[in-house]
Copies of this chain bind each other. A is one copy, B any other.
């Protein structure tokens, strides 16, 4: 099987819009393009890749559930493995959301995690992941093994990518950004085979202490503001919130340094975090994402960058990677 350079992989897809058929004129908005996509362009998310987090009910007694999709190989798998073990051990049950900093992050874990005496004991078998794993080495075999070959598309469209600047002009990585396996990633110079996930809104990462600590995965956070991309390659990203983010973005901001809650009373208790696959089959949430190698995704990304209609008089002529959220939806029960 031919080995396709990463750069072609990253960029081949969003740009097919320039090479192939243009969507019908009636599809004016990104949302309309997504709605008109074909069922086969969607990829089911395995319940084994979903974390179900139930936090204490709100002031009116309404339940609050947040669902997180874990990152696939080859990204951050050491930490993701730890997270599966923590969920299996029910380790998070009774821990809490301890920090909410406006335009930055919501963070949860053991409130006594820094207290050597009171800290909750971690389950056996967690691995210590090296800093080098903040960046993934891409090997074609790993995608084939996972049933994903979406980056190995027709390399003939690469020149079009190079002509179009919109995702190449990322101000952060001095290189390129794009989508692999449904996730926003950055990569090194053209032809490089390294890639790393990007801190967009809703992404979930692993809290840690100063380097060389890399965190276990027991302490997690979600981005709730403008993408803090200075954290890319400095912290492990392990997933993203795909449902219920409003339950945590609306929490009161903490008034201590860095948005930590000042008192124990302000914290929001975590009732449980479970891997969806361990729930009874009829209670497992079912989600799917729009393949980032599909034509509809290419049209959608293009429309995010170049919108012109009754409302938009001046197309942006570009877009940043975090302003192209990957469409994710609940699967219909019939499917």
| Complex: chain B residue closest to A170, CB-CB | B171
**Residue from B167, B234, B253, B307 in contact with A246 in the complex, judged by beta carbons closer than 8 Å:** B253
**Residue from B211, B227, B233, B311 in contact with A211 in the complex, judged by beta carbons closer than 8 Å:** B311
Contacts of A304 in B (CB 8 A): 230
Contact (Cβ within 8 A) A320 B234:
no
Contacts of A283 in B (CB 8 A): none
| Complex: chain B residue closest to A202, CB-CB | B103
Nearest CB in chain B: distance from A42 CB, A: 22
**Residue from B134, B166, B229 in contact with A171 in the complex, judged by beta carbons closer than 8 Å:** B166
Contacts of A232 in B (CB 8 A): 314, 316
A242-B305 Cα distance, complex, nearest whole Å: 29
A201 proximal to B (CB < 8 A): yes
Contact residues of A: prevailing secondary structure: loop
A322 proximal to B (CB < 8 A): yes
Nearest CB in chain B: distance from A208 CB, A: 8
**Residue from B131, B200, B250 in contact with A251 in the complex, judged by beta carbons closer than 8 Å:** B250
A59-B59, A170-B171, A251-B250 known; A316 vs B210 contact (CB < 8 Å): no
Contact (Cβ within 8 A) A102 B246:
yes
A159 proximal to B (CB < 8 A): no
A201-B225, A226-B201, A307-B230 known; A171 vs B320 contact (CB < 8 Å): yes
Contact (Cβ within 8 A) A171 B318:
yes
Contact (Cβ within 8 A) A172 B102:
no
Residue-wise, chain A 278-319 has the 8 Å CB interface mask toward B (1 for contact) of 000000000000000000000000001101001111101111
A137 proximal to B (CB < 8 A): no
Nearest CB in chain B: distance from A34 CB, A: 15
| Complex: chain B residue closest to A319, CB-CB | B171
A94 proximal to B (CB < 8 A): no
How many residues of A sit at the interface, in one of the four size bands? 35 or more
Contact (Cβ within 8 A) B323 A230:
yes
Contacts of A139 in B (CB 8 A): none
Contacts of A172 in B (CB 8 A): 316-320
A169 proximal to B (CB < 8 A): yes
Nearest CB in chain B: distance from A322 CB, A: 5
Contact (Cβ within 8 A) B174 A317:
yes
A249 proximal to B (CB < 8 A): yes
**Residue from B249, B305, B320 in contact with A249 in the complex, judged by beta carbons closer than 8 Å:** B249
Q: Which residues on A are within 8 Å of B, measured CB to CB?
A: 59, 102-103, 131, 134, 165-167, 169-174, 200-202, 210-211, 225-230, 232-234, 245-246, 249-253, 304-305, 307, 310-314, 316-320, 322-323
Question: Which 6 A-B pairs give the minimum distances between C-beta atoms?
Answer: A233-B314, A210-B310, A246-B253, A171-B318, A201-B226, A230-B316
A-B contact pairs, 12 of them (CB 8 A): A169-B171, A170-B171, A174-B317, A201-B225, A228-B323, A229-B316, A230-B304, A230-B312, A230-B323, A233-B313, A234-B311, A234-B314
